[in-house]
Chains A and B, each alone.
Chain A
């Protein structure tokens, strides 16, 4: 059943990729603040100053 080992290796590679992403996230300070991100989601609407139908910048 080589295919099982193949799938396991493939899954391990994927999982390792996720693990590296996790380390990056922790190291780069993504999780230093675990309160305000959920708050910021709420206030972003306030930043919209006005609504226009045509963009004037790319």
Chain B
């Protein structure tokens, strides 16, 4: 046996990530609450363009996923990894860079998203400079984690570490491939994939982001912190190993279930459904393993708020992972998709699984980091009940809203016509549910504030134990490294670094080579589908900037209830020039794919000015700034050039004529608006004109009589 070595665990970095977790959780929930409030009371956006629902929604989702849960992951990983491997983190410097880098990225997100700087792809909204920053910080985290694994004193890698490794690898791949984009300016890029292909890559990412950012790392945390909190070994270590491998092998194939009944080929949809259903087995294996760990310890659950939080978290995980596969069945998805059912489902996951587990871990960690007792167990219990009731008051009304609205969308009368042909009727019907959701959110967020108070009090009454001394014998490594001490690994750091950089370079190479091979579209081409005009392109970017996609889909599914309401169902060939795709995932307002030519230009003008004048009772906010701000055509030529490199068939040298064409088309729309009584000076230069041009173009390419002029 080798001599025992003394070393120190770094607790400070765990505390820092913990503080960040608590801070961002309050921010993420507050933004979510404001967004929820706007759905019943649009004026809650204070009539500012920066705080409309369209811009707040991505801020809320990014804050919840990457700021709250992200910091929660790092907090748990940095605590457990050191102890499981009997070593300090590989590098204190990398830990610091990782911490501050991640916080800076969050701040950058909080600044750019309200400004409307967005790629519009869900959970990947951040623009390209921030994408690069994320990749760099993520690599720093990776080097730090793998460095720690290499210098470990414990030969065995506990199952939690496997979950962390899978998380790191998969998130790296996902992030890179969903963010392949060509910059147009410092804050704008165009994705290399278009239409159906873009949608598929996005939801392959979106699904796996849930799998490998919200699920696998948290399962790792569950396998460490639950046995710790319950003071019992995990029910079955064997099951945890099977759980891990089965889960990661199956998860990566389930992505297409986000695109059922869309223009995605049927076999790909079927693949997504089959693998989603298979996921029930490993997911429930993990859930049962967690709950059974508490066998014979349920008396502790009654006493200990930490365990209460964890039990609710694991139960929510079980419910969400049963519901998820069910939602992947086509006939269920036909009802659920685009409704609040999906919103309810994801909130069971984030508020229940991620939220409650994070709270439990924070309450368990804080006294250990500060060498004292939790300030108030009573307040922790209060938080537990506020959290649990908050989830119920949030999700139940929203499930109800989803079912109600979906049934109304599909309701045909005896005359064979839609009973609720006015979309707005199906919205006003569920507004009471939206109000109850605000109540639920308020209860949940109150609990979070109680927690923050409790944690601050706990920290104040103790002193941070920044470094914890521990000792363990050096690892006897099998094979050629036999008998080597961990610091030998550090001595060979250049080699480790070399391998790491080789991997990074290889990925970089793939990034450059693959997209070029794939630009050529294999989507069936429709002869009448033409690229967007420069004005429509700018209008489309305003649509993206305002986050319209957060409430309006552009994908008419092949159901009678949808073709009756919206028009011809959407074909994959219609989207080949859509960079990015804007299919959306939620219909808070109606689908817009066939809105082109449906209303006169003046209708859109007045509707954007104040939606209530055109649709009384609408919950869409007014967009008065679109009537004042001028179209920015500085980058129009650059956009055309980038699109040309991506094989969009604009004529040679079109970029030079683009702005002139834009002005011409804008003049036409402005003239038409003037004819209909809109008297504004310089109307043809306003953003509203570009947006109208885009809206009027939508879905008109395959109509027998196109109503919009096109280039060429």
A and B bind: yes
Residues of chain A having any CB pair with chain B under 8 Å: 1-4, 6-7, 10-11, 14-15, 17-19, 21-22, 25, 28-31, 33-35, 37-42, 44, 47-55, 57
A31 closest partner in B (C-beta): B241
Minimum CB–CB distance for B253 against chain A, Å: 6
B156 closest partner in A (C-beta): A37
A-B contact pairs, 30 of them (CB 8 A): A1-B196, A2-B517, A2-B522, A3-B200, A6-B514, A7-B201, A7-B204, A14-B169, A18-B166, A18-B245, A22-B245, A29-B478, A30-B157, A31-B241, A34-B238, A38-B240, A41-B158, A41-B224, A41-B233, A42-B228, A44-B86, A47-B470, A49-B469, A51-B469, A52-B469, A53-B463, A53-B465, A54-B467, A55-B8, A57-B8
Residues of chain B having any CB pair with chain A under 8 Å: 6-8, 83-84, 86, 156-159, 162, 165-166, 169-170, 173, 177, 193, 196-197, 200-201, 204, 224, 227-228, 231-234, 237-238, 240-241, 245, 248-249, 252-253, 255, 265, 268, 371, 463, 465-472, 478, 514, 517-518, 520, 522-523
Please state if A3 and B173 are interface contacts (CB–CB under 8 Å).
no
Q: Which 8 A-B pairs have the closest CB atoms?
A: A38-B233, A3-B197, A55-B8, A38-B237, A34-B238, A55-B467, A38-B234, A11-B252
B193 closest partner in A (C-beta): A3
Please state if B478 and A28 are interface contacts (CB–CB under 8 Å).
yes
User: By CB atoms of chain A within 10 A, which of B157, B237, B465 has the most?
Assistant: B237
Please state if B268 and A34 are interface contacts (CB–CB under 8 Å).
no
Given the known inter-chain contacts A11-B252, A42-B231, please indicate yes or no for A48 contacting B518, CB distance below 8 A. Answer: no
Minimum CB–CB distance for B10 against chain A, Å: 9
User: By CB atoms of chain B within 10 A, which of A6, A31, A39, A54 has the most?
Assistant: A6
Given the known inter-chain contacts A14-B173, A14-B252, A53-B465, please indicate yes or no for A4 contacting B233, CB distance below 8 A. Answer: no
A54 closest partner in B (C-beta): B467
Minimum CB–CB distance for A42 against chain B, Å: 6
B265 closest partner in A (C-beta): A1
How many angstroms from the CA of A41 to the CA of B156 in the assembled complex?
11
Please state if A2 and B518 are interface contacts (CB–CB under 8 Å).
yes
Complex interface: chain A residues within 8 A of B231 (CB): 42
A4 closest partner in B (C-beta): B268
Complex interface: chain A residues within 8 A of B173 (CB): 10, 14
Please state if A49 and B245 are interface contacts (CB–CB under 8 Å).
no
Q: Which of A17, A19, A34 contacts B241 (CB 8 A)?
A: A34
Minimum CB–CB distance for B154 against chain A, Å: 8
Complex interface: chain B residues within 8 A of A4 (CB): 200, 265, 268
Please state if B241 and A39 are interface contacts (CB–CB under 8 Å).
no
Please state if B170 and A14 are interface contacts (CB–CB under 8 Å).
yes
How many angstroms from the CA of A5 to the CA of B466 in the assembled complex?
50
Complex interface: chain B residues within 8 A of A3 (CB): 193, 196-197, 200-201, 518
Q: Which of A2, A11, A51 contacts B253 (CB 8 A)?
A: A11
Minimum CB–CB distance for B292 against chain A, Å: 12
Minimum CB–CB distance for B575 against chain A, Å: 13
How many angstroms from the CA of A19 to the CA of B169 in the assembled complex?
13
